[in-house]
Structure 1
């Protein structure tokens, strides 16, 4: 892999509550058209399409991109749980870097249903069987509550028990998320919340309350990935380089170390981040802005340390010192993150790409992180996979 892969254009539509969005193929088509327009190219220049979604039948990717054009290009459908959007981006980047294509489109969308995530194929083994069995062994299972917050609430409780972190500090992560989301026209929830309001909302599991859990949403986002030669030939303005990217899956420590933090991806995230830092030749101290996978406040907390943004056991100080926001050491989730923007599974990783591309370009408006040079994305999915991506000015 000797060629550079550039993000030539990005597109995103505002996220919406289930039942209040357009259908998936229309959302996907609109996000793709916006990305093409941002890159200043036509669909006829795209050689491969990589389309991510979790809830949908086979060839939904074709259904979305056929609305953009019927060009006959290969279209690959990707499903990798909450890491789906970044997995599509990973494949597009890989195709460009390897020289297979000069230009590829990565698209992610999700048309979700209200309520907690559900299993639709109940007549066969559950993909998360290993994880469910491990969670039941580590912390037990409350049948009256959804599984996802029990996974991440259990991880948050482990962190709190290990380092003495208070419930108020977990809540402050959501306070920060809403403050950032107030400047994001694409975010679903922008109303400020106080620590008291967050802690007084319905208790879910461990340190988590209702307002510390991301909502299911519908939406779409897309990116055009191209080579340097393609960008020059086609007059692409302000491309952003994918300087480094890594994808990891689980190892034995996920299940054998009796740790809820590891069960929800701590080790995967640490390994992927370390690979990215090594590839790019920089360290975590060089990162200016991060979009990380805050499906729950607890996961943002443990991700600070998995990504080496702060030393182990130091997350509470990191939060109380304001080092996770504007004026601090690194701005985390300037978009408002999943907690405020919402989490349409297939679109999430590409929504991170949209935000960080604009941050590096200096076009993030009121969300702009001054002087942003290096931007890190962290997208995590149980089952499992983690993609970490480093963006920088081309």
Structure 2
């Protein structure tokens, strides 16, 4: 008989502010704060966590252990994950799989990043780069164009900018549509206290800003960021045993995909930006959830660069190929439209600490479904979707909904003592002591000094 996985439920979420890399906070502090907040939201201690998956891209081999040992050296499995920009959601999927497979009743998904300022780069110059094939393909495709193949700009921005340019050439859209997407996301972030940027440039401001590539301007780009995010995932039995029905959000669908041969066979700049893996991951997630895109109300979409939001609309089934710019024209990607896409401000505004991004998306959507998203709240949310990609390639799409046994109860402000969605605060020593292991705290490694809490 075919195997039917158990259902997994998100019962606690936590985040730090996503901020400009300044060297002020190290990853153990970012990871600890996000985990503490998720445990407080769930009303649990670290003793109840049976396994953890930790995502980060920039760091040594056991940074997850370094961060979580501060909560107690309980001996649980801790697995570290690196999957480029989809690292956070890959860690979340790992934690969810532990629940679905019956290996654990309660799991922690954690992601964090301490990044260097400026464009993304590799720490290695003595080995093959994972993106060699994609960049070579881009040079080959653009070699016949009137512009030079050695055009300026960081490689990731060039790939997504080229995808946007192909969409405009094929379907009659303009870069004004892409500028409008960027302006929309920045406008959303003004109400997000966790966002790196809280400014609202107009579409015209976005269009005339400094060029980063041939087409992409600075406000269309996600910044490098420091930050952390965490989620507690558990089984239905665990939810009911600990009376967590008032915060249980079901993982209704989970789709994971890597690149297919379309990446190279189609000679398409849109495909080089990961459209096919987005397409297939979304199809899997919708099928598991038993819904279509029409049943979704709110989406956190991987807008590392504004052109990617445009080319991803059809990949997620929001429209037919070639009609993505009509969603922009009709205002169907913001409050009052068919969907609210990136109410958080998206990667362009809220920031993009690679390891934290995907789990941060889960956190925002869990709050939306619990009607606890504060000033970002979308009306009547039944299904929420997250989309997180990493070139090279990895894509994770989730569909979330309230658990069928969900019961209205406490609000996150009851658990935190303040409205978590409307006010960003750093963790306190009291909060750390509340959730730290009660049975394995005889020895703890050096933690964040109380003076910094």
Is 1:133 aligned to 2:128, yes or no?
Answer: no
Q: 1:123 offset after TM fit, Å?
A: 0.7
Tell me the equivalent position of 2:298: 289
Tell me the equivalent position of 2:323: 314
Tell me the equivalent position of 2:90: 87
Higher Cα radius of gyration: 2
Is 1:302 aligned to 2:279, yes or no?
Answer: no
Q: 1:221 offset after TM fit, Å?
A: 0.1
Is 1:329 aligned to 2:338, yes or no?
Answer: yes
Is 1:186 aligned to 2:194, yes or no?
Answer: yes
Give distance in 2, aligned partners of 1:220 and 1:66.
Answer: 16
Q: Is the partner of 2:67 in helix, strand or coil? A: helix
Tell me the equivalent position of 1:375: 384
Structure 1 stretches of 5 or more lacking a match? none
* TM-score between both structures, scaled by the size of structure 2: 0.86
Q: 1:143 offset after TM fit, Å?
A: 6.3
For the aligned residue pairs, the C-alpha RMSD in angstroms reads 1.1
Tell me the equivalent position of 2:217: 209
Structure 2 stretches of 5 or more lacking a match? 144-148, 404-453
Q: 1:383 offset after TM fit, Å?
A: 0.6
Give distance in 2, aligned partners of 1:98 and 1:235.
Answer: 22
Give distance in 2, aligned partners of 1:293 and 1:219.
Answer: 17
Q: 1:145 offset after TM fit, Å?
A: 2.1
> In the alignment, which of 263, 266, 275 is matched to residue 257 of structure 1?
266
8 Å contact from structure 1 (residues 21, 218) kept in 2: no
Moved over 4 A (4+): none
Is 1:352 aligned to 2:361, yes or no?
Answer: yes
Give distance in 2, aligned partners of 1:33 and 1:154.
Answer: 41
> In the alignment, which of 101, 110, 113 is matched to residue 116 of structure 2?
113
Structure 1 residues 218-233: aligned runs within 5 Å: 218-233=226-241
8 Å contact from structure 2 (residues 153, 214) kept in 1: no
Give distance in 1, aligned partners of 2:251 and 2:289.
Answer: 10
Report Cα offsets for 1:197-242 as digits up to 9, x if no partner. 1111112335311111111111000000000100111122321000
Give distance in 1, aligned partners of 2:375 and 2:381.
Answer: 14
Give distance in 1, aligned partners of 2:273 and 2:156.
Answer: 10
Is 1:246 aligned to 2:255, yes or no?
Answer: yes
Matched residue pairs, number? 394
Give distance in 2, aligned partners of 1:2 and 1:167.
Answer: 44
Q: 1:144 offset after TM fit, Å?
A: 4.1
Q: 1:142 offset after TM fit, Å?
A: 2.9
8 Å contact from structure 1 (residues 170, 207) kept in 2: no
Report Cα offsets for 1:322-345 as digits up to 9, x if no partner. 100011001000000001001000
Tell me the equivalent position of 2:63: 60
Give distance in 2, aligned partners of 1:310 and 1:164.
Answer: 16
Is 1:364 aligned to 2:373, yes or no?
Answer: yes
